């Protein structure tokens, strides 16, 4: 590729990615040359400024026509814009959360955390825009490798070391499995571009390899389910969530999970949307029992094991596993509402989960324990935090007038509204949601009905108050006026360009 070709490319469509990359490089240089005793909190402010600038570029791209770079390896379309919005919003809130996080003996590594967080975000942004297996894998590994290091940021803490080690091992296994599945796809089609692969799988000559197509789907999907912590590949999540610094736990729970679902959506709808199954029917319909089993097992495992948890970070790890099961339900039916249902629930999950982690960070820092008993008497020590945490918990539990209820209702109707209604899966969704009330409401009972173990009111930090207020307001607004987000989605993200390009290839 010569210089003239490089300069003629429309690099402006990658403005959010270049902004995040430039900010990360700037932070790494500043951190390198700053005096050791100098506080690194200023780097957090610069990180947040970079996220705001990237968001501004993204909003300017909403009216931009679909475009691509590197022969369709990177695409700017409605799909990528929709998921980039969630990724940038989530990372921005986590940066504010991290600004007030006390790292104790590891304070000198705060600068590393900021630019590692941005490089992980960069990987997620690349995943959202990738239309080629090569760039998908690059984005996935950039996100994963940065996350491995962030999980072990507390270098003198045994739990953090264990979390990082387990994450590296399981992540390496998932990467190997994913590449194994992708190798079959490349071997069958001779292509790495997702649109080209989708068209190649329609070829009649592929029909003699139907079993290999189904095998490639199952293997690749199994590898990617590690990233979203879906059963039976979820056992890394509780230990990693518990041992990681709390802002990292929030990032893994929300931003990393969102990037994983964006990858799965784009990969399998483009590659396997028209792939033939073993008996001639479309592959995505033949693998519905497999996907339904994964979704059901994830909801059941996450909610049942959460009942026995006392450590609040482990509890929310299993809660996050259960939430992954809920989001997998629309994938079973592959209906026309798959995109908006998944996007809305991930948006709602962003606010209710990051808000909950903001309260957890405040409470655990004051009580010096991660046990649920640390929430005892919170209403008397800080009525505002208790009320906000109640809002987040009610939303996670799917109680009406919250964003979580609207999201779960959409998923429930998606399961029932399919051509072949998945009534058992919908029943599991309702049943496991009821089970979740036991451990969610136990936290509410601690806050309002248990005697406080520590005296004195909590001293609120401004950053945590800001994150809590924004998330609580968004959770309530999306629950009462869900049309605001859905109208924005339908107005800004015309997903027809996602499929039109596939048809033109």
Instruction: Write out the DSSP string of 9-47.
Output: S-GGGGHHHHHHHHHHHHHHHHHHHS-TTS-SHHHHHHH
pLDDT at residue 502 in the model: 46
pLDDT confidence bin for 37, thresholds 50/70/90: confident
Length of the chain: 505
Among 383, 398, 388, 321, smallest CA distance to 360 is for 388
Average pLDDT along the chain? 87
- The answer to whether residues 66 and 77 touch, using CB atoms and an 8 Å cutoff, is yes
Average pLDDT, integer, range 70-90:
89
Which H/E stretch holds residue 8? helix 3-8
The backbone torsions φ and ψ at residue 74, rounded to the nearest 5 degrees and listed phi first, read -120, 130
Average pLDDT, integer, range 39-62:
90
In a domain, 221, yes or no: no
In a domain, 40, yes or no: no
Number of domains the chain contains:
1
In a domain, 309, yes or no: yes
Coil, strand or helix: which one is 167? helix
pLDDT digits (tens, 9 = 90+) for 8-18: 667 788 899 99
Q: What is the pTM of this model?
A: 0.93
Average pLDDT, integer, range 212-239:
88
In a domain, 141, yes or no: no
Please tell me the distance from the alpha carbon of residue 137 to that of residue 292, in angstroms, as a whole number.
26
- The answer to whether residues 91 and 69 touch, using CB atoms and an 8 Å cutoff, is no
In a domain, 128, yes or no: no
pLDDT at residue 366 in the model: 83
pLDDT at residue 504 in the model: 47
- The answer to whether residues 174 and 219 touch, using CB atoms and an 8 Å cutoff, is no
Domain that holds residue 397: 298-497+501-505
In a domain, 106, yes or no: no
Average pLDDT, integer, range 456-482:
87
Residue 288 makes CB contacts below 8 A (sequence gap 6+) with 332, 333, 334, 422
pLDDT at residue 459 in the model: 72
pLDDT digits (tens, 9 = 90+) for 298-328: 999 999 999 999 999 999 999 999 999 999 9
DSSP 201: T
Residue 308 burial (CB count, 10 A): 10
Q: Which residue has the higher pLDDT, 473 or 413?
A: 473
Among 449, 312, 464, 439, smallest CA distance to 385 is for 464
In a domain, 52, yes or no: no
The backbone torsions φ and ψ at residue 372, rounded to the nearest 5 degrees and listed phi first, read -60, -30
In a domain, 212, yes or no: no
pLDDT at residue 234 in the model: 86
pLDDT at residue 414 in the model: 83
Tokens matching residue 495: 């997903």
Q: Which residue has the higher pLDDT, 278 or 296?
A: 296
pLDDT at residue 268 in the model: 80
């Amino acid at each position: 590729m010569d210089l003239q070709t490089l300069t003629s490319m429309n690099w402006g469509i990658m403005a959010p990615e270049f902004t995040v990359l430039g900010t990360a490089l700037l932070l790494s240089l500043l951190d390198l040359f700053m005096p050791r005793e100098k506080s690194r909190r200023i780097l957090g402010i610069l990180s947040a400024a970079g996220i705001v600038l990237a968001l501004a570029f993204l909003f300017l791209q909403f009216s931009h026509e679909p475009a691509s770079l590197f022969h369709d390896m990177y695409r700017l379309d409605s799909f990528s814009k929709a998921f980039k919005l969630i990724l940038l919003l989530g990372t921005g809130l986590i940066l504010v959360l991290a600004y007030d996080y006390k790292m104790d003996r590891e304070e000198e590594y705060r600068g590393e955390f900021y630019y590692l967080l941005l490089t992980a975000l960069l990987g997620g942004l690349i995943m959202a825009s990738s239309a080629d297996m090569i760039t998908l894998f690059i984005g996935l590994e950039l996100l994963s490798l940065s996350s491995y290091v962030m999980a072990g940021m507390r270098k003198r803490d045994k739990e953090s070391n264990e979390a990082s080690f387990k994450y590296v091992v399981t992540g390496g296994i998932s990467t190997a499995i994913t590449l194994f599945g992708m190798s079959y796809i490349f071997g069958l089609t001779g292509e790495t571009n997702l649109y080209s692969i989708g068209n190649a799988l329609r070829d009649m000559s592929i029909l003699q390899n139907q079993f290999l197509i189904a095998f490639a789907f199952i293997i690749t999907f199994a590898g990617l389910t590690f990233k979203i912590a879906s059963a039976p590949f979820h056992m890394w999540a509780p230990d990693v969530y518990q041992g990681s610094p709390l802002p990292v736990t929030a990032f893994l729970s929300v931003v990393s999970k969102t990037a994983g679902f964006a990858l799965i959506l784009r990969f399998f709808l483009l590659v396997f949307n028209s792939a033939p199954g073993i008996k001639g029917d479309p592959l995505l319909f033949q693998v519905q029992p497999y996907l339904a089993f994964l979704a059901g097992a994830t909801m059941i495992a996450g909610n049942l094991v959460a009942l026995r948890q006392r450590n609040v970070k482990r509890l929310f790890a299993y809660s996050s596993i259960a939430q992954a099961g809920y989001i997998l339900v629309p994938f079973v039916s592959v209906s026309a509402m798959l995109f908006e249902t998944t996007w809305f629930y991930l948006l709602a999950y962003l606010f209710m989960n990051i808000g909950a982690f903001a309260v957890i960070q405040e409470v655990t820092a004051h009580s010096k324990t991660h046990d649920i008993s640390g929430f005892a008497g919170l209403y008397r020590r800080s009525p505002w935090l208790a009320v906000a945490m109640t809002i987040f918990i009610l939303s996670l539990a799917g109680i009406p007038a919250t964003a979580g209820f609207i999201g779960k209702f959409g998923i429930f109707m998606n399961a029932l509204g399919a051509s072949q209604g998945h009534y058992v899966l919908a029943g599991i969704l309702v049943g496991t949601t009821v089970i979740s009330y036991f451990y969610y409401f136990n936290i509410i009972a601690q806050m309002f009905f248990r005697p406080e173990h520590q005296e004195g009111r909590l001293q609120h930090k401004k950053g945590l108050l800001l994150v809590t207020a924004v998330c609580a307001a968004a959770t309530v607004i999306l629950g009462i006026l869900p049309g605001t987000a859905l109208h924005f989605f339908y107005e800004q993200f015309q997903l027809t360009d996602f499929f039109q390009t596939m048809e033109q290839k």
